[in-house]
């Protein structure tokens, strides 16, 4: 029984860079040639020159928050899909609505690797409690389990008594779904006086898998792991036995950028997760998920050599309404870029005396232009059409939480 899914997981840094230098230009050329959206947004890009993450950082970001409007303008996928009806196997709908395609390749969502790291093996029966209705969750994990040689019981959500009865009858070794729903099933089994001794492993996504819940399941003899996945991208990163962050999947390239921009942040700094996928049917290039995370240094103690992220750390979309006007992280970034002295900026909104007050806190070094506070204030007013105070602070003094706009107003 192999510890690793394949040899890709333990490549050297040089092998990984070499593969990327070939694969990345090919995918960019494919996206530009076969999708209306990237034909326009990347029309002046020399695909052959984009051979590294540094080069990739110069391309525009398309954000998940843009998909609803893009899809309204061009049905069904906003011009982002390279395959059409007939070539696609299924189409799904997520809240918004946002429509997502599924191609016909096996394990389209690349879930098998993550499940393998979680201990799933050929011959396991998987009780799959992800939803099969409209959204892709159930299909994402079913496809990966079947690719591993597992058999799947498509339980979906709800009907807890019937699900417990099926588990008692079929004796699955594994569960896939959210941790909260597994706890509900286990509590229902306790109420019904049903024992489930066969269940020894679980794989979660869709919500946080917190240490207290992990320990609670371990007390029942169930070892749980988790993945970070989205309906557009499939699995982005997954947990291993090391339990030190999430290892990035081999089928995607992950960047962490400052919210509201496409600018990569330093290792360890919290920012927005931006993903480039090597999916031929839905070739998303620099897709901003709207989620916050940070890179961890080094490689995982489990031996997998790809980069690691801390996991989901909140949402990057911090748009805030101030004095009747929306202020976006992108606007803060535009204002800050006008002043090279600014290392990092954070707009804090308060309401002393029930009046909204914006203060732009700027990390700057010792070398700074004359009247810098005044010129920064003019920039933020020019961009947002609102007045703001400016506070210059030392480099490294702002919180490392990915926030560009902090709404600290109190309403009690």
Residues 152 and 183 in one domain: yes
Residues 65 and 168 in one domain: yes
β pairing state of 342-350 and 357-364 = antiparallel
Does residue 179 belong to any structural domain of this protein?
yes
Pairwise CA distance, residues 173 & 155, whole Å: 14
Does residue 289 belong to any structural domain of this protein?
no
Could you tell me the residue range of the domain that residue 362 belongs to? 320-407
pLDDT at 1: 56
pLDDT 10s per residue in the chain (412 long)? Answer: 589 999 999 999 999 999 999 999 999 999 999 999 999 999 999 999 999 999 999 999 999 989 989 999 999 999 999 999 999 999 999 888 899 999 999 999 999 999 999 999 999 999 999 999 999 999 999 999 999 999 999 999 989 999 999 999 999 999 999 998 999 999 999 999 999 999 999 999 988 888 899 999 999 999 999 999 999 999 999 999 999 999 999 999 999 999 888 999 999 999 999 999 999 999 999 999 989 999 999 999 999 999 999 988 888 878 888 887 878 888 999 999 999 999 999 999 998 877 789 999 999 988 888 899 999 999 999 999 899 999 999 999 999 998 899 988 887 6
**CATH code: domain of residue 202:** 3.40.50.12780
Measured torsion, CA atoms of residues 74, 75, 79, 83, in degrees rounded to the nearest 10: -160
Does residue 336 belong to any structural domain of this protein?
yes
Instruction: Identify the burial level of 182 via C-beta atoms within 10 angstroms of its C-beta, where 0-12 means exposed, 13-18 middle and 19 or more buried.
Output: buried
Residues 86 and 198 in one domain: yes
- Residue whose token pair is 């989205």: 230
Determine contact, residues 316/291, Cβ cutoff 8 Å: yes
The token pair that represents 347 in the structure block? 């707009």
pLDDT at 82: 98
Does residue 1 belong to any structural domain of this protein?
no
Of 232, 272, 238, the C-alpha closest to 57 is 272
Residues 303 and 331 in one domain: no
Last residue of a domain, one of 286, 314, 342: 314
Residues 56 and 175 in one domain: yes
Pairwise CA distance, residues 309 & 268, whole Å: 9
The token pair that represents 282 in the structure block? 């839905």
pLDDT at 95: 82
Does residue 280 belong to any structural domain of this protein?
no
Residues 155 and 219 in one domain: yes
The structural domain count of the chain equals 2
Residues 303 and 397 in one domain: no
**CATH code: domain of residue 351:** 3.30.300.30
Residues 302 and 341 in one domain: no
Does residue 184 belong to any structural domain of this protein?
yes
Does residue 355 belong to any structural domain of this protein?
yes
Q: What DSSP letter does each residue of 206-233 carry, written as one string?
A: SS---HHHHHHHHHTT-EEEEEEEETTT
Helix (H) or strand (E) holding 70: helix 67-73
Last residue of a domain, one of 314, 345, 366: 314
Residues 62 and 207 in one domain: yes
Does residue 47 belong to any structural domain of this protein?
yes
pLDDT at 260: 84
Residues 217 and 83 in one domain: yes
Residues 69 and 204 in one domain: yes
Residues 29 and 173 in one domain: yes
Q: pTM for the whole thing?
A: 0.86
């Amino acid at each position: 029984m192999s510890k690793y899914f394949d040899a890709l997981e333990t490549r050297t840094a040089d092998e990984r860079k070499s593969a990327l230098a070939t694969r990345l230009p090919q995918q960019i050329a494919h996206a530009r040639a076969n999708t209306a959206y990237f034909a326009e947004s990347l029309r002046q890009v020399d695909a052959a020159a984009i051979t590294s993450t540094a080069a990739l950082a110069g391309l525009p970001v398309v954000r998940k928050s843009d998909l609803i409007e893009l899809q309204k303008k061009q049905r069904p996928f906003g011009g982002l899909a390279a395959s059409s009806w007939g070539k696609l196997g299924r189409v799904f709908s997520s809240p918004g609505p946002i429509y997502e395609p599924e191609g016909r390749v096996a394990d389209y969502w690349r879930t098998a690797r993550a499940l393998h790291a979680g201990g799933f093996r050929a011959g396991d029966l998987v009780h799959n409690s992800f939803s099969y209705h409209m959204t892709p969750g159930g299909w994402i994990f079913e496809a990966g389990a079947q690719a591993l040689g597992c058999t799947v019981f498509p339980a979906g959500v709800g009907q807890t008594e019937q699900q417990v009865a099926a588990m008692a009858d079929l004796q699955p070794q594994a569960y896939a779904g959210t941790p909260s729903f597994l706890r509900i099933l286990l509590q229902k089994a306790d109420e019904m006086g049903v024992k489930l001794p066969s269940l020894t492993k679980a794989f979660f996504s869709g919500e946080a898998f917190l240490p207290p819940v992990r320990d609670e399941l371990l007390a029942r003899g169930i070892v749980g792991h988790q993945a970070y996945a989205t309906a557009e991208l499939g699995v982005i990163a997954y947990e291993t036995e090391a339990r030190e962050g999430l290892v990035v999947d081999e089928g995607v390239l992950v960047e962490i950028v400052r919210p509201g921009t496409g600018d990569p942040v330093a290792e360890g700094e919290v920012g927005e997760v931006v993903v480039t996928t090597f999916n031929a049917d839905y070739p998303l290039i620099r897709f901003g998920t709207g989620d916050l995370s940070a890179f961890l240094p080094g490689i995982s103690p489990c031996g997998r050599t790809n980069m690691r992220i801390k996991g989901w750390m909140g949402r990057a979309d911090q748009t805030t309404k101030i004095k009747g006007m929306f202020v976006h992280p992108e606007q803060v970034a535009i204002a800050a870029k006008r002043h090279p002295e600014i290392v990092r900026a954070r707009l804090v909104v308060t309401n002393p005396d029930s009046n909204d007050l914006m203060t732009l806190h700027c990390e700057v070094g010792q070398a700074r232009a004359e009247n810098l506070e005044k010129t920064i204030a003019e920039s933020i007013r020019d961009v947002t059409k609102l007045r703001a105070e400016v506070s210059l602070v030392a480099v490294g003094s702002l919180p490392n939480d990915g926030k560009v706009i902090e709404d600290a107003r109190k309403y009690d």
